[in-house]
Amino acid sequence: MSSRTVLTLGVLALLSAACTTGPKSVQAPVTAAEVGEVRPGLVNGYLKRSELPDSLALLPPPPAEGSALLAADSEAYRALTALQKGPRGAQAAKDASLRPPAVTTHFACALGVSISEQQTPNLNMLLRRTLTDAGLSTYKAKDHYNRTRPFVAFNEQSCTPSEEASLRKDGSYPSGHSALGWAWALVLTELAPERTDALLQRGRSYIQSRGVCGVHWKSDIEAGRLMGAATVARLHDNELFRTQLAAAKDEIAKARTAGQVPAAAECAAEAAALATSVKLAP
């Protein structure tokens, strides 16, 4: 066999191996240790700070003193905080938690799939990192306007008394919880389009919980929703986000096949609590 033939066969073997194995697939990290944390419990997002949507540029100023918009804010505050002492108030307090592992379970009933680091690691991390990006997107406007929260303005208690000291120091406009809650709703509808109505309804009730708790004005919540949508639009230009989105979609399909669903009793209780405020703004 000539040296040219040996060389040709060697090249063909390498090409065949390359075609068989293909390029290595990129995998998104699924643990806090891999991703890193902004502070304990809050993982880094997908976006650099310079890549976040600019809330100060996108949002109008909060309602002025004596305006019709501020009157509407006050009316919504009274209507929503009236629900604090019932099941809706308990649900609002539960919705306030952004600590793992509970943080990624808020939409499990609407999705119809149990969410955890063990069973759905990519979905779990997708929600945690999106939370950070959406929440941080609100801070240019928050820090600029430094709006007083409604429970402070009315000198009343919120549904999360343990958080009141820190909330008093944090601007009210726009709502960070509303930004991340609406971002979750939008991302999850991409992953489970057949559950769109349930997921968007849960997104609305989740951000409405901030009004029930008395920690945000109606206009804060509406502005937060806009920032959540802007963040999701920006995230779609991030390759790692898209990679994790695809992996999460596969996990949801497998979880459904395996029957990994939230407890029926818990979902029934959640639905009953949320039904009491479904017609209230925002």
Question: Which is higher by pLDDT, 20 or 228?
Answer: 228
Q: Which amino acid is at 249?
A: K
Mean pLDDT of the chain: 93
| Annotation: CATH topology of 30-275 | Vanadium-containing Chloroperoxidase; domain 1 (1.20.144)
CA distances from 18 to 10, 22, 118, 282 (A): 12, 5, 33, 56
151 contacts 217 by C-beta, under 8 angstroms? no
Q: What is the DSSP letter of 136?
A: H
Burial annotation 169-186 (CB, 10 A radius, 16+ → b, else e): eebbbbbbbbbbbbbbbb
224 contacts 59 by C-beta, under 8 angstroms? no
What is the rounded average pLDDT of the residues 144-157?
98
Over 70: is that where the pLDDT of 25 sits?
no
Over 90: is that where the pLDDT of 146 sits?
yes
235 contacts 182 by C-beta, under 8 angstroms? no
Q: What is the pLDDT of residues 156-209, one digit of tens each?
A: 999 999 999 999 999 999 999 999 999 999 999 999 999 999 999 999 999 999
Percent of residues, the chain, with pLDDT higher than 90: 89
The pLDDT of residue 278 is 85
Q: How do the domains of the chain map onto residue ranges? A: 30-275
CA 28/CA 202 separation, integer angstroms: 27
Highest mean pLDDT among 20-34, 46-60, 266-280: 46-60
Q: Which of 14-28, 113-127, 205-219 has the lowest mean pLDDT?
A: 14-28
Q: Which amino acid is at 91?
A: Q
Over 60: is that where the pLDDT of 71 sits?
yes
Over 50: is that where the pLDDT of 22 sits?
no
Question: Which is higher by pLDDT, 13 or 228?
Answer: 228
Q: What is the pTM of this model?
A: 0.91
Q: Which amino acid is at 272?
A: A
Over 70: is that where the pLDDT of 1 sits?
no
Known catalytic residues? 177, 210, 216, 220
CA 48/CA 235 separation, integer angstroms: 11
SS3 38: strand
